[in-house]
Amino acid sequence: MIRKTFAAALLASAALFTALPASAQEDQTFNAKQTDAIRKIVRDYLMEHPEVIGEAIEALREKMKAQAESDAKKAIESRKDEILNAADDPVSGNAAGDVVVVEFFDYNCPYCKVVLDPMMEAVKADTKVKVVFKEMPILSEESLTAARVALAAKKQGKYDDVHRAFMKFRGKLDDKAIFRLAGEAGANVDQIKKEMMAPEIEKQIRKNIDLAHALDISSTPSFVVAGKDGKAARILAGAIEGPVFKQLFDITRKGGRLSGAN
């Protein structure tokens, strides 16, 4: 019934249009009376079937979501080596895994802290997933300090320990807590202080932030999940739960779409 009514409305609008002189059809203009008639047809239809508005909004959302997924895949494909295989990025899990999870994070982001254990437990259970950590310190100066310290600790082979120490800390990380936690994690703090401002560390952080912008990533945590060849790629944001990570791994291998993903 809705479709028939809508079809009638469209036919009425078309009749108004075809009744115009050829010159008016060419520039597609309507006089005031014709415009009011068209508006009334549309208004009457929407008042009689308001559910159409919701259907249209949902259709628009689906269209925008599909477009965003398409844009993300193109962006990931064009920079897949930089995203998935940058030589200077800290890596965990299986470095030769067939699925890659890339996390953009900030050490003062509470949701990044929440997601750490579910993500790593899912990775441990799967055994064929590579995790790439991309420091994205956007929340505060202390976040930037923590990122520098963690990357300097990587030179000592202590990145994983320092990363976990920072993520397990509850509350906002300040400079005092950052250096204390790094030391407690087994890193040489004096050496870190000498190396944390190194140009290559600054370059890496800037590169991560620029890459996030290119992928339209503006919040933490955000994830790129893809096959190791960059296929079946998607971008997700927020504190993803462990079972969703497992679903992501499975669907990525099959090249499918995650139902309900943002």
Distance CA 139, CA 236 (A): 19
**What's the whole-number average pLDDT of the chain?**
87
| pLDDT (tens digit per residue) in 85-137 | 999 999 999 999 999 999 999 999 999 999 999 999 999 999 999 999 999 99
Domain ranges in the chain are: 2-76, 78-254
- When comparing pLDDT for 138 and 35, which is higher? 138
pTM: 0.75
Predicted pLDDT of residue 257: 56
User: What is the residue whose two structure tokens read 């139902």?
Assistant: 259
Q: Which long-range contacts (CB under 8 A, 24 or more apart) does 195-204 make?
A: 195/152, 195/155, 196/145, 196/148, 196/149, 196/151, 196/152, 197/148, 198/152, 200/88, 201/148, 201/151, 201/152, 202/148, 204/88, 204/89, 204/135, 204/151
Mean pLDDT in residue range 155-168: 98
Strand partners, 30: none
Predicted pLDDT of residue 43: 86
Predicted pLDDT of residue 231: 86
| pLDDT (tens digit per residue) in 193-233 | 999 999 999 999 999 999 999 999 999 999 999 999 988 88
Label the pairing between strands 99-105 and 91-93.
unpaired
In the predicted model, is pLDDT for residue 23 greater than 70? no
Predicted pLDDT of residue 10: 47
In the predicted model, is pLDDT for residue 237 greater than 60? yes
77: pLDDT confidence band, cut at 50, 70 and 90? confident
Share of the chain above pLDDT 70, in %: 86
Question: Torsions phi, psi of 70, nearest 5?
Answer: -65, -45
| pLDDT (tens digit per residue) in 32-66 | 888 888 888 888 888 888 888 888 888 888 887 77
Sheet bearing 234-237, strands edge to edge: 91-93, 129-135, 99-105, 222-227, 234-237
Class of domain 78-254 as given by CATH: alpha beta
Predicted pLDDT of residue 5: 46
